[in-house]
Amino acid sequence: MRPNRIQVRRPRTSRWLRTALPVVAAALLVTGFLALLLLVPHPTAAVASSSGTGGAGTPPPNGQGGKQPWCDAPGLPACPTPDPGWVPITGETPRAAADAISRSSMFGALQGQVGHLSLDTPALVHLLLSRGGSDYWTSDHWVVSARNDAGVQIGLFDYVYDRAHQRIRFANYGYISANDPRYGHAFPYSTAASAIQRLQVERKVSPRASSAPLLVYFPPDPRVLGPAGNQAPIPWSGGGEYPTDPMWMVPGADGRTYFVGKDSHVHNQSELPIAQ
């Protein structure tokens, strides 16, 4: 079954020509990036990040986990100019998120190079605990996978969500290659139903009545995830370190809260590698 999609319109030429010069520069760099994709294998997602300051860390620089960068590395072009512009969002629904994302400059820059894009249903990823720092680490995020005219998933958009002011801004774009296990699948890559099933099988606990699983992320402990995304001595494979790699938070009928990771295991909050 094909995943649900939200269609977005291609920006008119006149609007594209009015884009600010930094965004034009970003579009030119994206052109070089797309050409580079034809020549260089990318086994994992490569990310163009927005800027961040201080706190528990900054967004993953050009490559989640620091793997296979496509920009700002020796022999590669500079990353696109960050787009700090905020876009109003009309509500906290996937439809409103898709409309806002389609109006952002970075979405327009990419669409101007590859043609019409469609979005899968955006997912709201909640911040589990705030440890201060840039708004990347203190806000919820809207994350959505994008596809081209052929229906092929070509990447993953990540937008910071400023709920108080009802606006979003571009944070990351990740390229998904054909040999990535996430290729061709809509985000999130596991379902709430599968998370509930894992809780019932592994812990023999049912979900709490009148509650629903939520996607969550947290600022990672640097002992688990090193400065450039390098794996540190304490191993962790459950995910949750980034909005684009969240865990399912499931309230249990026993009064406890559980977290189901990409490792398909159920964890307590005390087991999560959260930055202190």
pLDDT grade, residue 50 (50/70/90)? very low
Instruction: Average the pLDDT over 220-233 and give the result.
Output: 66
Per residue in 228-243, pLDDT (tens digit) is: 555 566 788 899 999 9
DSSP labels for 204-242? --PBPTT---EEEE-PBPTTTB-TTS-B-SS---S--SS
CA 162 to chain centre: 15
Instruction: Average the pLDDT over 120-146 and give the result.
Output: 93
3-state DSSP assignment of residue 167:
strand
Per residue in 1-41, pLDDT (tens digit) is: 444 555 454 434 333 333 333 443 444 344 443 333 332 22
**What is the predicted pLDDT for the residue at 254?**
96
- Which distant-in-sequence residues (6+ apart) come within 8 Å of 209 by Cβ? 253
Please report, for the chain, the start and end positions of each structural domain, with discontinuous segments joined by +: 5-175, 192-271
Check residues 100 and 78 and name the one with the higher pLDDT: 100
Preceding omega of 188 cis (within 30 degrees of 0): yes
**What is the predicted pLDDT for the residue at 134?**
87
**What is the predicted pLDDT for the residue at 83?**
52
> Taking the model in full, what pTM does it have?
0.72
194 within 8 A of 237, measured Cβ to Cβ? no
Check residues 276 and 42 and name the one with the higher pLDDT: 276
pLDDT grade, residue 62 (50/70/90)? very low
**What is the predicted pLDDT for the residue at 51?**
38
Instruction: Among 69-73, 80-84, 172-176, 231-235, name the most confident range.
Output: 172-176
